Amino acid sequence: APTLGALELYWGMAGKGTGGGDMDPTRVIQGIAQAIGFISAGVMFRAGTTVRGATTAAVIWMAGALGIACGAGFYLLAGMALALCLAVTIVFSYALRWMPDSVKSED
């Protein structure tokens, strides 16, 4: 929604002959990506030598990126990115189940 709002505001101003002035709709996208990165970093926890929540953080960031892409109208790109993200997440989830516990925990 923020991406759509920024683009609509920019094109609305450009349609009135003002050219949008010094408005830059990509600043909204930058702000969204920065905020999602901050939220993603908040779900990661370090416990000794291990880090927990990295996959959750990556999925949160990916959801934000997909929202930005859809808001900007890049539906094909968002669909391909979603398919790739789901494939990688599912494949690695199954791969982790088959790994021995000695490989999973690198203590």
Task: Please choose, from the candidates 20, 17, 63, the residue with its C-alpha nearest in 3D space to the C-alpha of residue 39.
Answer: 63
Q: What is the largest CA-CA distance in the chain?
A: 66
pLDDT in tens, 48-102: 887 788 888 888 888 888 888 888 888 999 999 999 999 998 998 888 888 776 5
In this predicted structure, the answer to whether residue 1 has a pLDDT above a threshold of 70 is no
